[in-house]
Amino acid sequence: MKLVILDRDGVINFDSAQFIKSPAEWKPIPGSLEAIARLTQAGYRVVVATNQSGVGRGLFDMDTLNAIHEKMHKALFAAGGRIDAIFYCPHPADSDCECRKPKPGMYKRIAETLNVNLKGVPSVGDSLRDLQACAVLGCKPILVRTGKGEKTKAEGNLPDGTLEFADLAAVADWILAEPKS
């Protein structure tokens, strides 16, 4: 199975220090929807792994999170792409859950749900916790400089083998140019 795992805020859509709390606040980063469309049209399954602590903090409810994701799905469909699944952690940052990145629980769930080994699977994020969580299960950590990416790069301590790209469109270019086995 050809698979790509994406963080949401800062990779697909613009991030906000105040959280994305409504569909109106969800705005795609230029080129991100088209990048996902190119991947899906090339036979990749694209899944999202996203911390959504705003739910646990009471900033928005599950209906609102679902409405935000519905807007994302519709925008992707219009661009010719799709997200096959969205995995999320609704717990607040101080929670001791196993699913909140940088813990690998969400990635374990992806592997179990899709019945796939994540070794070498490209996983794209803009924060250190995205890269740490995916690296535990052998994903290929990829940092984009959108969202918090520039700050993450400057702070360093990236997992070994982390690749870096300007944005999701550049990641898609790289993935699609890779020799196929």
In the three-class reduction of DSSP (H, G, I as helix; E, B as strand; rest coil), residue 65 is classed as helix
On the question of pLDDT at 71 being above 80, the answer is yes
- Single-letter amino acid code for the residue at 151: K
Share of the chain above pLDDT 90, in %: 93
Q: How many structural domains does the chain have? A: 1
* Mean pLDDT of all residues in 38-58: 96
Task: Assign residue 18 the CATH number of its domain.
Answer: 3.40.50.1000
**Is the Cα torsion angle 160, 165, 166, 168 positive or negative in sign?**
negative
Torsion, CA 33, CA 110, CA 108, CA 118, rounded to 10: -70
On the question of pLDDT at 53 being above 80, the answer is yes
Cα–Cα nearest to 28, from 60, 44, 43, 6: 6
User: Would you please indicate which residues are annotated as catalytic (active-site) residues?
Assistant: 7, 9
On the question of pLDDT at 179 being above 90, the answer is no
* Mean pLDDT of all residues in 165-169: 98
* Mean pLDDT of all residues in 165-174: 98
CA distance 147 to 172: 17
Q: What is the pTM of this model?
A: 0.96
Q: Report whether 57 contacts 91 (CB < 8 A).
A: no
Domain assignment of residue 152, given as a range? 3-177
CA distance 48 to 71: 14
